[in-house]
Amino acid sequence: MVSMSASSLKSTKRTGLFFVLPFFLIFVLLLIVPLVYSGFISLYKKGLIGGNRYVGFENYITMIHDPQWVSSVGRVFLYFFLQVPIMLIIAVFAALAIDSGKLRFPKFFRIAIFIPYAVPAIIGCIIWGYIYGKNYGFLNQLLGYLHIHHVDWWGNSTQALGSISAIVTWEFAGYNMIILYAALKGLSTELYEAAAVDGAGAIKIALRIKLPQLYPAIFLTLIFSIIGSFQLFTEPQTLNLQAPTVLNNYFSPNVYAYSVAFQGQQLNYAATISFSLGLIIAFFAIIATLVSRRRGGDSLL
């Protein structure tokens, strides 16, 4: 190839810019601007009485000493360690099983596992609200037929985390499975053939050859899951009526920010909570990236 002249390089650059511009504009308008704005208003305080005033980091200091905020963050941590491993193990297992070629009706399974992701989260929550119903819910009626005493699926906040984990796993295992499955489809099949010639069975190929090559994709799903877990909102918010004191207004940082903003009329404090949550998520995403790099993993990010 002939080396490019300076001017053609410049025009290529310009063409590139043209292609990223739509994304970049939306990115700036819908992400960077609100981010900067919420960081900005988190330094102010405006009450129902009295005007807007600059308070520096006062809102952040209040937040660190706010037991409800601390409990909400603690809860999403617990939730992350409870829910994400289960969901990703299911997703990896499903992707490997469908890719193994040993499954009958692989297309059916692929769609069946993925379909909950296509159900709007609110609708999903309404369905699960019925399933978890206290007296006449699906699960408790089932237990009733087996003469087992009713379970209060929202009995306390740890139980509630378990119940929510099941919902989110149902919603997102399929989504993660598709990412992993796509990654598997991208792998070179020569290695499998060689392994098969050497006498390796489907399970051995999955565990020894596919799984190690799947790490970058698993890491990607892990990053998505960190973000998703810390931003837990729709499920506790929608199901709040099922257990008002357990799925309360500080069940997760996002639920708390919403309540503080719209029930409490403390928009500045809500911005503080949201902005901090962004920082926390970024921090853990970076930690996860560093850990994966140290392990020699080749990140997709």
Partner 1 sequence: MSSMKKRGVVLAVVSTLAASTAILGLSTQQAQAAAQNAAVTKALNTPTTLTFWSWLPGQQNEVNLFQATYPKIKVKLVNVGSGGTEYNKIKAGLAAKSGLPDVAQVEFQYLPTFKVLNGLANIKPYVASDFLTKFPQWISDQVSDAKGIYAVPQDSGPMGLLYRSDVFTKLGLAAPKTWAEFATDAAKIHSADASQYISNMVMDSGNMNGLYWQAGARPFHMNSATSINIKLNDSATKQVTKFWGDLVAAGNLPVDPYWTSDWNAAFNKGKYLSWPSASWGLGTVTSAAADTSGNWRAAPLPTWSSTPVSGSWGGSTVAVMSTTKNLAAAAALAEFVNTNPTAAFALTQAPTFDFPVMKSVLGSDGFLATAPAFYGGQKVYQAYSAYNNTVGKNYEWSPFQDQVYTLWTNDVLDAILKKGDTAAAVDKWQADTVKYAKDQGYTVTTK
Sign of CA dihedral 246, 247, 251, 257: negative
Going from the C-alpha of 265 to that of each of 241, 269, 288, the distances in angstroms are 21, 9, 36
Q: How far is the CB of 68 from partner 1 (least distance, A)?
A: 8
| Spatial distance between the Cα atoms of 207 and 292, rounded to a whole number of angstroms | 19
Closest CA to 94 of 226, 182, 9, 6: 182
58-61 long-range contacts (CB < 8 A, ≥24 apart) are 59/268, 59/269, 59/271, 59/272, 60/272, 60/276
Q: How far is the CB of 38 from partner 1 (least distance, A)?
A: 13
Q: How far is the CB of 159 from partner 1 (least distance, A)?
A: 14
Q: Which is nearer to partner 1, 36 or 115 (CB)?
A: 36
Q: How far is the CB of 139 from partner 1 (least distance, A)?
A: 12
Q: Which is nearer to partner 1, 100 or 249 (CB)?
A: 249
Q: Which is nearer to partner 1, 71 or 213 (CB)?
A: 71
Q: Which is nearer to partner 1, 242 or 254 (CB)?
A: 242
96-99 long-range contacts (CB < 8 A, ≥24 apart) are 96/184, 96/206, 96/210, 96/211, 98/177, 98/181, 99/181, 99/184, 99/185, 99/206, 99/210
Residue 209 burial (CB count, 10 A)? 16
Q: Could you give the angle at the alpha carbon of 277 between the alpha carbons of 272 and 283, nearest 5°? A: 130
Q: How far is the CB of 109 from partner 1 (least distance, A)?
A: 32
Residues near partner 1, by CB under 8 A: 47-50, 129-130, 133-137, 241-245, 248-250, 258-259, 261-267
Matching residue, tokens 């819908």 = 30
Q: How far is the CB of 255 from partner 1 (least distance, A)?
A: 11
102-108 long-range contacts (CB < 8 A, ≥24 apart) are 102/202
Residue 3 is classified by DSSP as P
Q: How far is the CB of 133 from partner 1 (least distance, A)?
A: 4
Contact predicate 62/43, CB 8 Å:
no
Q: Which is nearer to partner 1, 48 or 146 (CB)?
A: 48
Q: How far is the CB of 55 from partner 1 (least distance, A)?
A: 12
Tell me the residue type at 163: S
Q: Which is nearer to partner 1, 124 or 137 (CB)?
A: 137
Q: Which is nearer to partner 1, 129 or 216 (CB)?
A: 129
